[in-house]
Chain A
């Protein structure tokens, strides 16, 4: 196997100055949510990192995640990280198609055996292998085959991470997540519908620069981005504490930017970086735009009650059953009273 160039060499060859490199490292630290004091270490790591082969598999998905990633604004993605990774297979982005594309995938797998990264977006249908195929290969088979020689698998988006919308009730295709199928390789989940582009980039950057997997939470999400709830970092939080809530999307409270809890905000139970990293290059995020968080980076967010139903609402099925319980109570009470009366009468007679 020929040695792939280091990122430092690639940059030098491109005529990027040291200042440019420093700038790149600073933004990388930012993206990785590392403190600026880490910049020198990052610089050293990036200089020596080698170009890594990436195979991207798209299964039952809407291409929103790819769309999101290619919107990533940092100099990293279009410019540098995509120079630093070699995207050897991505059937939506690559020019090659059909057998040619599959040949590219096999070549990349052979050449980088044990070292390449597999990125997956979309869930995998187990109901019928014919539900989703690429070049006549079912999604399950392609995943298993491709993952065999991978260093790690990154599940991009809530579909790949948790089954997502294809897996929503009644799950007609029997969709499962990457985690459900890949148990013998490290899996990193980067959920979101779609995930924040910066977060996707960051996870790749981290792997490429430090050659190590990030610290993960119980759902295999990188803690750096999924370690805190939206609620804990939300700028509307002071209004929550003051009990100031928007009741509709156009009342005074909504105009004054009050908390969206009443409108169904799932921020308190949602772990994601929207509140700080934000979207569209840090322009804003859904709550800032006036819409409650849907909880898109959490498992089953699609089935977890209504989007506009407050988090503290209970899920009762019907008032009728409750009325039934009341009727049962009356009946039980009547029986108890009758028994009591009989006991009373007996007691009176016997004295």
Chain B
């Protein structure tokens, strides 16, 4: 078995098991927790609507912080949207999903994907630079932050390398790319990348708690 076969077969397989089991483990583990009792008088009833509201409003910067966070916010958007487009709108990737989902959807031309991939990498690097140079951010960053950053950027970089080639062999680069994806899948449920499926849960919870306490959201 060569490296590519290993990557496409066992490596992806195991990564998929871990991704699915790990994500569900974390989600269920959190959702089944008993709510912490709050003995204070509720100011407002913190319902689902409050949760949805925060899920929405937190997508934008609150006005007092606009100036300070505009740049990182934009970079984070570019990185996430670029990542989304590369993963779900690149035709060979759509075919990967079609392989087990059984249906396909329209994609973007490779040249556009390439541009978005580069944009994602550049903004990812900008975010890292900020993380390192901003004293407060650096203080609150731990291994998880840096490793999660690496694991996110690595597949994009290896994917872009496939199309740039630079004298390396396609099958080798593709194998490395898929292995890097497997690494992402394995790490995703456990570290801070868990925000992929937890981000709306945490925002909703925050919304409900804040609403109850009468905080402005």
Contact = CB atoms under 8 A, between A and B. Distances in A.
A–B direct contact (CB < 8 Å): yes
Contacts of B27: 333
Given A310-B95, A337-B29, A344-B36, A329 B108 contact: no
Given A313-B99, A337-B33, A243 B17 contact: no
Interface in A189-235: 229, 231
A36 to B, nearest CB: 26
Contacts, number: 132
A334 interface: yes
B8 interface: yes
Interface string B15-53: 011101111111111111110110000000000000000
A314 B99 contact: yes
A341 B91 contact: no
Interface residues of A, number: 42
Nearest to A341: B34
A242 B110 contact: yes
A329 B20 contact: yes
A269 B33 contact: no
Given A243-B107, A332-B29, A348-B37, A269 B171 contact: yes
A307 to B, nearest CB: 15
B191 interface: no
Interface residues of B, number: 44
A315 interface: yes
A325 interface: yes
B109 A242 contact: yes
Nearest to B92: A312
A189 to B, nearest CB: 16
Contacts of B96: 310, 312-314
Contacts of B32: 333-334, 337-338, 340-341
Q: Nearest 7 pairs between A and B by C-beta? A: A333-B28, A329-B24, A337-B32, A336-B29, A313-B99, A332-B25, A329-B21
